[in-house]
Amino acid sequence: METEDSSPALDSDFPSPVKLVAAHLVVVVGVIHVSLGLYNWFRWLNAGFLVPRDLRWPLFVVSGLALIAGLFIAAQGRHRRTLYAAGIGLMIVYVVGYFSWHLGGHGFVFREPTPHQGPVGQFLLDHLFAGPVKFLAIVSEVALAVVLAYLLVKESV
């Protein structure tokens, strides 16, 4: 039986649950982007292109590694507010970029776009539920942006 004197201290060095959720989401989003980026970049390398015509894949790798690096820096207690803001910005780029890429017909730079037909709402839902990895990525990115926004506001007060 524990008494009040033998109970563990409430002030510990263990991160708050919100920070743990944020850290887990960073790992999920980072792993998804590094994995997809490397897989597709290697496909371009096998075709003889060091720098692929579709620059999303190297950008996925770099941004995914940046997320993981940011996690380690934040865990040391350095530049947290800046990292939270940068993470929110990156999540916005991921989500808006995903839907913009598809709404724009998959051809912003190197090829003619092939725009989609039909209602935009149905189109967005179809692409949200296009597959388990895409769904997990979008949900994790949105959740991470929300959690980082909470931490940013909480640490501003």
Are the C-beta atoms of residues 34 and 71 closer than 8 Å to each other? no
Entry pTM: 0.78
Distance CA 60, CA 70 (A): 15
Is the predicted pLDDT of residue 7 greater than 50, yes or no? no
Which pLDDT score is estimated for 66? 97
Are the C-beta atoms of residues 99 and 127 closer than 8 Å to each other? yes
Which pLDDT score is estimated for 21? 95
Among 65, 64, 62, 58, which Cα is nearest to 43's?
58
Residue-wise pLDDT for 110-120, tens only, equals 555 556 666 66
Band of pLDDT at residue 137, cut at 50, 70 and 90:
very high
Residue found under tokens 């790798």: 61
Is the predicted pLDDT of residue 107 greater than 80, yes or no? no
Among 58, 60, 62, which Cα is nearest to 133's?
60
Band of pLDDT at residue 56, cut at 50, 70 and 90:
confident
Checking phi first, is residue 37 left (phi over 0); if not, alpha (psi -120 to 50) or beta?
A: alpha
Q: Which pair of tokens denotes residue 60?
A: 């996925």
- Overall average pLDDT of the 62-86 stretch: 94
Distance CA 91, CA 138 (A): 9
| CA-to-CA separations, 64 to 6, 9, 70, 104, in angstroms, rounded | 44, 36, 10, 24
Which pLDDT score is estimated for 40? 87
Of 52-61, 84-93, 101-110, the poorest mean pLDDT is in 101-110
Which pLDDT score is estimated for 1? 47
DSSP label of 49: -
